[in-house]
Structure 1
Amino acid sequence: MSGPLASLKVLDFSTLLPGPFASLLLADMGAEVLRIESPARIDLLRVLPPHDRGTSASHAYLNRNKRSLALDLKQAEAVEIVRELVKGHDILLEQFRPGVMERLGLGYAALKAINPRLIYVSITGYGQTGPYKDRAGHDINYLALAGVASHTGRRDSGPLPLGVQLADVAGGSLHAVVGLLAAVIARQQSGVGQYLDVSMTDCSFSLNAMAGAGYLACGVEPERENHVLNGGSFYDYYRTRDGRWMSVGSLEPGFMQQLCVALGRPELAVHSVKPEQQAVLKQALQVEFEKRSFDELCELFAGVDACVEPVLSLSEALQHPQLKARELVSQVPRGDGSSQAQIACPLKFSEGLPAPRHIGAAVGAHSDEVLAQLGFSAQRIADLRQARVVG
């Protein structure tokens, strides 16, 4: 199997999470991804714990199926190597602050002149324009400025730091993949590439899908625990007798009725719960959940179609029959005959996807191979290594 994106060749200059997660999806779908890394300034993801056999598990996952070419882009010869690579690649993905690639001589205008079909994707915190374009930031900052944090969390304790990087992944990575694949389709018609400016703050702002729509059209300001889906209704998490949690999403009347019947409180299943009555309903439900242990509730709702599910740890999720049936774990070769368990590509294609080839590679692991493919002699490669152009 070659995968649906086997025709695409990607140059990936990104580090940490947003760009690498995007290029991971591309690589899993068959694209040929070549990481361009600094031999001196290490990607901090490489040292992020925990480690498996001396390698960061996060790096090994996020950079699987990708080759690594180590280049010192401050040297002219390294820039020329990139220019040569651009001739044969479809997509360039970078995550530097605005202006960095231009100063290196690798901006979109310069590379478009070499390859007019190039699709050039820049992922940044705030975008290429605006007063914050050069400002540093992280996931928590983008969610704060995009308004997402203002209606997430609890009234008495404020916004919650999420367990996943929403702005980085849902904002940066996934929007970048959608955008660049749209550009690929457009290129099939026009024959030319284009530049894609992906701001993680912009994309996080767009995730205010329902709350934002309500404010813009009706002037209703979303606040914590003041609407149906953010804790302002019985749609919420409930503590069990033994300190675990259950999720309740029984919004529709049929589901609500099954929830209340299962708990032995059918009278709570009213068809319309007014906002001022939600707190009373939630308290009644909490009382019922706290009468039972986590295991008792799991057994109680196992055969009830009421949109009630347990809050599982990662280890428990891995053992859940639904996730196991979906084959969400892959064994990825390390390169020494052994393999590492990793999260599998979640996309299911009827024609299948190529098997994972290898975990994230060492810095410059494929430098000689890539340069040889460009026509560089062994002596020339040795000279470039001696000059520290290549790592």
Structure 2
Amino acid sequence: MPAPLQGIRVLEIGTLIAAPFAARLLGEFGAEVIKIEALGQGDPLRKWRKLHDGTSLWWYLQSRNKKSLALDLKAAEGLSIVKRLLADTDVLIENLRPGALEKLGLGWDVLHALNPRLTLVRISGYGQSGPYRDRPGFGAIGEAMGGIRYTTGEQGSAPARAGVSLGDSLASLHAVMGALLSLFNVRANGGVGQVVDVSLVESVFNLMESLVPEYDLLGHVRERSGGALPGIAPSNTYRTADGAFVVIAGNSDPIFRRLMQAIDRPDLGEAEAFAHNDGRAAQSALLDDAIEAWTRRHPIDQVLATLDAAEVPAGRIYSVADIVNDPHYQARDMLLDSQLPDGTPVRMPGIVPKLSDTPGRVDWQGPALGEHTDALLAGLGLSPDEIIGLRAKGVVQ
């Protein structure tokens, strides 16, 4: 069957994480993704994190299935090329600072007149309006101001961050959702294209559960709580006899009773005070102490085997080494065997979500800078001599 997004063209004018990750997700399900890169070095992500022969391994993952078109957007000829592409494009994804697209001559009024069916997805720190609109914003700032950093870390410690670019990735997921909603409106409802305004701060804030009503009605400020989940008990991280850590979530009523049986504390499982979550949450420290008293007497494998037999959700905290050697990850095709352009074999993350009839796929890893320039320009009807002329002028690479 054809891929679900086959026939959809996506143009990406973005760097690093938020816009490129969103475009990658669309490309994995069949969209043609054309990445516009600056002349010279291209996307800075090509040099981020760990490198192989001078190119980031993250780049190969983030830009898989994309076509690289290297050109000067500030040159009249370069802008003309982009407009010709946009005339037949379904989605434009950008993460420039608000107003930058307009300075290039690609404001929404221009784009909508050029292609009424075009969806413009705009990712920025604070959104396209509001008093903070013009501030520079990175994912880390989105995490800070979106509320998640304040709640992350141990009690009494400085706020912590996750070890990945969480703010950017959350914005990417919201951008994909917005793009697909707009595409559906165009294709199924006969609508026209629209602007999808995605803020890094708001994308993080959207995950913050009941934070606002708890504060508004109760004056409660959710604080840092380490591995626990305040108000939901028991749910925490516990140390085992061999020094490992296990996460145990026994916070539904029947699971809690099974957990207490498994750790030889049926007295707690049968206590009326702990029959429901509100009672358990009021004495969560007592329950955590009882659970850890049991986990510290047993190695991690025995803890997991016992809890699995009792049908209590539990899992060890995985490092990447644990992930790549895990049979479940392998069985779910979450570790894809691939190779870099020089033939070096490498495993890459698989595709999420899993579609039964039209699954996503990886056709190639991140391209060389400008690798598809000639083919894309030829597809617009430019002759070989015209392409050579543009290259001689420094418009394309």
Correspondence for 1:168: 168
**For residues 334 and 352 of structure 1, do their structure 2 counterparts lie closer, same or farther at Cα, with a shift above 3 Å needed?**
farther
Native 8 Å contact 2:247 2:317 kept in 1 = yes
The letter for the 1-side match of 2:31 is: A
Correspondence for 1:360: 366
**For residues 13 and 40 of structure 1, do their structure 2 counterparts lie closer, same or farther at Cα, with a shift above 3 Å needed?**
same
Q: Residues of 2 paired with 1:145 and 1:338: CA distance?
A: 41
Correspondence for 1:374: 380
**For residues 341 and 275 of structure 1, do their structure 2 counterparts lie closer, same or farther at Cα, with a shift above 3 Å needed?**
closer
Q: Residues of 2 paired with 1:66 and 1:48: CA distance?
A: 18
Correspondence for 2:264: 264
- Structure 1 residue 292: deviation in Å? 1.8
Native 8 Å contact 1:332 1:357 kept in 2 = no
Find out whether 1:307 has 2:306 as its counterpart. no
The alignment partner of 2:96 has SS state of coil
Correspondence for 2:98: 98
Q: Residues of 1 paired with 2:192 and 2:35: CA distance?
A: 23
**For residues 224 and 80 of structure 1, do their structure 2 counterparts lie closer, same or farther at Cα, with a shift above 3 Å needed?**
same
- Structure 1 residue 218: deviation in Å? 5.0
The alignment partner of 2:315 has SS state of strand
The alignment partner of 2:162 has SS state of coil
Superposed, 1:75-224 pairs within 5 Å as 75-170=75-170, 172-188=171-187, 189-216=189-216, 218-224=218-224
**For residues 226 and 322 of structure 1, do their structure 2 counterparts lie closer, same or farther at Cα, with a shift above 3 Å needed?**
closer
Q: Residues of 1 paired with 2:226 and 2:394: CA distance?
A: 58
Tell which deviates more after alignment, 45-54 or 270-279: 270-279
Deviations 1:230-275 (A, max 9, x none): 4874311111223211001111122112222222232232424354
**For residues 243 and 287 of structure 1, do their structure 2 counterparts lie closer, same or farther at Cα, with a shift above 3 Å needed?**
same
RMSD: 2.2
Question: 2:294 is matched with which residue: 275, 282, 288?
Answer: 288
Deviations 1:322-371 (A, max 9, x none): 32222112234545666532111111212133531100001101000100
Deviations 1:293-325 (A, max 9, x none): 223323333423111221121221233333222
Native 8 Å contact 1:68 1:361 kept in 2 = yes
Q: Residues of 1 paired with 2:264 and 2:76: CA distance?
A: 74
Unaligned 5+ segments in structure 1 are none
**For residues 335 and 224 of structure 1, do their structure 2 counterparts lie closer, same or farther at Cα, with a shift above 3 Å needed?**
closer
Q: Residues of 1 paired with 2:231 and 2:219: CA distance?
A: 20
Find out whether 1:73 has 2:63 as its counterpart. no
Native 8 Å contact 1:92 1:119 kept in 2 = yes
Native 8 Å contact 2:29 2:361 kept in 1 = no
TM-score w.r.t. length of structure 1: 0.93
Correspondence for 1:327: 333
Native 8 Å contact 1:153 1:230 kept in 2 = no
Give the aligned length.
390
The alignment partner of 2:347 has SS state of strand
TM-score w.r.t. length of structure 2: 0.92
Correspondence for 1:388: 394
The alignment partner of 1:259 has SS state of helix
Tell which deviates more after alignment, 46-55 or 359-368: 46-55
Tell which deviates more after alignment, 325-334 or 22-31: 325-334
- Structure 1 residue 219: deviation in Å? 4.5
Tell which deviates more after alignment, 125-134 or 212-221: 212-221
Correspondence for 2:229: 229
Correspondence for 1:318: 324
